[in-house]
Chains A and B, each alone.
Chain A
């Protein structure tokens, strides 16, 4: 078995269930919703801020790299004297640095988010499970993974029933 999957009708119920599972000591738990539910990941113990940092660092790196290329090309390798103006007048190089820095920040955010989420990743057991398809439509799901140290098929099933799940399934691996 991959996990026990419980279906809930509203995101309020899902949040309560997620909090209860976290409180109860389950560590291999995931919740699924058709739209982002504020606070749901935090209910499961999510505290990370790596994506914002990556975005910032991507932007700084892109801007620095672009500034360096411009400086090296136009000041060091092939200087052109235009009316005696100083060669390394940095404001003239700001615009491409700003735009390319933005591009790197955006790519760092997008690619970093996907990689941290383990995407692209096909063949996930839940994606093969028919009832789970409503997770992208109008239903809310909580999964307790079978490799959770606290997982006990009968006890966990009872735990989910007590939380008011509308349906509980065993998802094959």
Chain B
């Protein structure tokens, strides 16, 4: 069977510029954009209402209590930040490995990373009883004379989240400067002034490009470990405490694999959305989707291995509390979350062993949706079934999320979609100059 090319033949540089830069001027696409915006804005209202009530009344509006003191807030944090990792992997690791096909995907995947990591960062702050004091995590010299306890994974994660968001922003922006100059040179009036200010006077000078290239590769080399380290830090937040079902050394790799898996699922959904709704099919091709499908399958199988290793170690430890938690997970009060996770995560992706489903947008999109949902249920299983049975039966208590927790979760989805739509409308969704570079390399 003939292999689909990464980029269709007979494209020239000017076509690439127009395909990305002029999307926003097409009336059909504009209508679709407004429809998507109209669907997302009610969720933003839900976000504002649920955080507003939370600030007014406190965390009592949520269902969390002892022993399940980490509810949807922490589940959502882990889910959102995990999604971001596929973007970092595409933008930095694949750049260093010289995988040119990433050049059609990195820009919107980085935007996804930035917005997802921002959503993730909100939840731990909202989860604080006094969210306005979150800055106490910074080592600020103060009259109290106390400092953060830096040996705690809680402090580690504060620094890794802050670094991750800022690094993602810097990488995204540095990579976008040349494209902002392209938009500046194609626009007029106020838009020209805004793009001109953002492009910082970029003019494509050879020496500027050479230093830019050094900086871009340097940033990628410095930052690619974030794919592994940030989620390992999240995992140590769990593994660091003496909680049966959490206190295990498999957790960092287990979390990292699942994170990249869920991230590829969302990248697939966004890629299909962009190429159909925004007509980016000449730049994001079936071959890209095929590669993403394979990566989803591969990371899914790795995640499955991590599940099995986790269960094996619980049994092999011989620790009665560990084994009890394992049995609670597969047969207890919250067994539904474990089995939903397993089904959604590893069912649909089995289709991706074959080429035909990998070349079907509908199948791929549904597989991505299934995995994104499945990975959320996995985190529900990990958090809730790890906590609801404490060491002493007298302390056992179940957890049910309240309406406000669900609204907050849906609300962050809405904020994410609105941010992504604003990005799609005003900024280059695909890296214009990197696609040209790839065209040039392929002759």
Contacts and interface: CB of A to CB of B under 8 A. Distances in A.
Query: Is chain B a partner of chain A in the same complex?
Result: yes
Interface in A119-138: 119-124, 126-127, 132-138
B214 to A, nearest CB: 4
Interface residues of A, number: 66
Contact of A119 (B13, B173, B202): B202
A119 to B, nearest CB: 4
A102 B173 CA distance: 17
A51 interface: yes
Interface in A39-74: 40-44, 46, 48-49, 51-52, 55, 59, 66, 69-70, 73-74
Given A34-B13, A37-B206, A126-B203, A102 B222 contact: yes
Contacts of B139: 69-70, 73
Contacts of A137: 13-14, 17, 182, 185-186
A99 B206 CA distance: 32
B437 A113 contact: no
Nearest to B18: A137
Interface centre among A40, A52, A120, A134 (most CB of B within 10 A): A120
A89 B160 CA distance: 20
Contact of A98 (B167, B229, B433, B440): B229
A25 interface: no
Interface stretch (A76-84, A151-159, A162-170): A76-84
B147 A74 contact: yes
Contacts, number: 201
A16 B171 CA distance: 32
B207 A36 contact: no
B156 A117 contact: no
Per DSSP, chain B at the interface is helix
Interface string B372-394: 00000000000000000000000
B170 A35 contact: no
A136 B204 contact: yes
Given A100-B163, A102-B223, A106-B219, A133 B150 contact: no
B130 interface: no
A46 B170 CA distance: 25
Contacts of B218: 51-52, 55, 105, 109
A158 B98 CA distance: 41
Contacts of B434: 35
A19 to B, nearest CB: 12
Nearest to B151: A92
Given A55-B222, A73-B139, A110-B170, A117 B211 contact: yes
A35 B145 CA distance: 53
Given A59-B222, A106-B170, A82 B205 contact: no
B159 A96 contact: yes
Contact of B150 (A35, A59, A70, A112): A70
A18 B215 contact: no
Most buried by A among B148, B153, B215, B434: B215
A73 B185 contact: no
Nearest to B160: A99
Nearest to A108: B218
Contacts of B182: 34, 136-137
Interface in B388-443: 433-434, 436-437, 440
Interface string B184-212: 11100000000011001111111111111
A93 interface: yes
Contacts of A102: 163, 167, 222-223, 225-226
Contacts of B206: 18, 30-33, 37, 40-41, 43-44, 46
A43 B229 CA distance: 40
A32 B293 CA distance: 38
Contact of B215 (A44, A99, A112): A112
B419 to A, nearest CB: 22
Given A11-B440, A73-B150, A99-B156, 11 more contacts: A33-B209, A55-B218, A77-B145, A98-B225, A102-B163, A109-B214, A110-B219, A113-B174, A113-B215, A120-B197, A136-B202
7 contacts: A30-B207, A35-B434, A77-B145, A106-B222, A110-B174, A117-B212, A137-B186
Interface of B: 12-14, 17, 139, 145-151, 153, 155-156, 159-160, 162-164, 166-167, 170-171, 173-174, 178, 181-182, 184-186, 196-197, 200-215, 218-219, 221-223, 225-226, 229-230, 233, 236, 433-434, 436-437, 440
